[in-house]
Amino acid sequence: MNINSRIRQRRLEAVLNYDDARAAAQKRLPKAIFDYVDGGAEDEVTLRRNTKGFRDLSFEPKGATWIEQPDLKTNILGLELSMPVLTAPCGGMRLVHPEGDLGIAAAAAQAGIAHVATSASGYTLEEIAATPGPQWFQAYRFSNQEAMRSLVHRAKAAGFEGLVATIDTSVSGNREKDFRNGFSYDMRINLSNALRMAPQMLRRPEWVYRYMRDGMPFQLPNTADLTVDGKPMELTEMIRTGKDSHSPSWEDIAWMRANWDGPLIVKGILGTADALTAARLGADGIIVSNHGGRQLDGAPASIAVLPQIAAAVGDTVTVLLDSGIRRGSDVLKALSLGAKAVLVGRLPAWGLAVNGQAGVSHILEITRAEMIRTMRLLGCPSVQQLDPSWLSGHILAGADAP
């Protein structure tokens, strides 16, 4: 093992949890990239609600019980998962580390779970699909129905097993940190962004070296044919100049159902009405999600609205959840309140920043170990047995407070 490998290994050994991974990533990423992953919309009220919602839930363990090997395995819409976790669709991951979405997908496969690929990746959906392991594809509308349909057809041809329609991005949330930092998915160097971002880039020479070796100028390849005023579409266009919704409409979802043979999942559900509409249109699953606090600030924590949504749809659709998962214990709380699995976004992103695919694998195995330890302490033998009885008072008063 050479000296660089030893340094990277020591970095990983120092990462024991989410906060460690976040702190290590902050030391390695330019401020604009770190804030893009870390931040939320406007005053970040919903971002804080997400984590507080989990912290305000208390377990009710069953004592005098030894669980030798807690069973984490689950089946989600045909996916056999070693634990009830999927890696969430996150745009811009190639800016975090050159391995980007390919590294996250490979680490997910190694962990025995599934990856959900994003339309807003630095790699083509075909390149991501070529990574071994089960994967779903997440589709935006991108203010262009034909572009959306083209992506769906490409995802089908590439072999993705499920399609995720994200409905909470009519425009991008007002992520003021990104605008202050001059962040854009399109990080091509020009005089304007060079002057604005050079000071923070120079403080992160390792990131700059990797970025330059990766070719430096690139755009979002899956949207390369989408332009605004003759220029490639960037993050900022979704909020500043969008002329139409970037989320699929219910009519679009009906079209997806008619044109997609595999599981169809609707992401961005925060109320029972939308959940029931998705079920009526033939969705196989829904993801209770506020987009990690990055869209509508003031929306409730996903975990706070999960129980009533799960109760409303019953067994008609498979319920998943994202937003706010920081530990394996959070996964178990979500399952206790009606989710069948969760999606994690920032967790693998921080691992990626620390050490590429190996960092993602490290953080996923930490999450698995936390789940196993918590289930032993609970006295719960299987994730299939989790229900509200494992929580004290189920949802405590104030769980949705800012």
Write down the pLDDT at residue 211. Answer: 79
Tell me, what DSSP letter sits at residue 382? B
The CA angle 209-198-235, to the nearest 5 degrees, is 90
Q: Which domains does the chain have, with CATH numbers?
A: 3-29+43-175+245-390 (3.20.20.70)
pLDDT in tens, 284-332: 999 999 999 999 999 999 999 999 999 999 999 999 999 999 999 999 9
pTM, whole model, 2 decimals?
0.92
- Please give the Cα distance from 168 to 172 (Å, whole number): 9
Longest dimension (CA), the chain: 68
Among candidates 204, 209, 217, which has minimal Cα distance to 29? 204
The CA angle 219-344-222, to the nearest 5 degrees, is 20
Instruction: Provide the total of helices (H) and of strands (E) in the chain, helices listed first.
Output: 17, 12
- Please give the Cα distance from 262 to 112 (Å, whole number): 20
291 is catalytic: yes
Asked if 29 and 167 touch (Cβ cutoff 8 Å), the reply is: no
Q: Check 97, 115, 246, 291 and give the catalytic one.
A: 291
Which portions of the chain are predicted below pLDDT 50?
217, 234-241, 396-402
In sequence order, which residues have a C-beta less than 8 Å from that of residue 380 and are 6 or more positions away? 62, 67, 70, 332, 386, 390
Classify strands 264-269 and 285-288 as parallel, antiparallel or unpaired.
parallel
Asked if 132 and 102 touch (Cβ cutoff 8 Å), the reply is: no
pLDDT in tens, 103-140: 999 999 999 999 999 998 989 999 999 999 999 999 98
